[in-house]
Amino acid sequence: MQLKALKRAPALWESGGGYRNTGDATIVAGKDGQPKRATYIRRRGELANAPHALIILETGDHIVEAHHHREDFLIEVFRVLAFEEKDGEMYALVELVNRFDRGEWDAEFLMFLKAAVEAAVEKATCYHCREPHYVRE
């Protein structure tokens, strides 16, 4: 019997949550800015501010990273350009497309990503967040 090797797909966890005065979040959006289907959603174990939903990445997808201290936000939006395998590990090659710091965006904001950015802000301020905020189930 011949067995086929299963190829691992590149994936990223939607993760994060808030503490009393700080917080962070990682959100994955499709190339159109819409939520993607989660491959796996954690429902057991230590969930507070942890990885919550595993999402398969594809070229063109967007990753939103949000960090805050007393709701002074740093938000970075990346676009996945390609994937590279190195030493048996898969890496995404990304480009920074927008950055919000000190109250303003560095370039014209991509409006189709508004819901993903709002979800990242919501998740980063969600005290001891225990569930995904931007996935299709």
In this prediction the pTM is: 0.92
The pLDDT tens digits for 6-24 are 567 899 999 999 999 999 9
β-pairing verdict for 36-37 and 135-136 = parallel
Distance, in Å, from the CA atom of 71 to the CA atom of 77, rounded to the nearest integer, reads 18
Domain ranges of the chain: 11-31+45-129
The pLDDT tens digits for 51-87 are 999 999 999 999 999 999 999 999 999 999 999 988 8
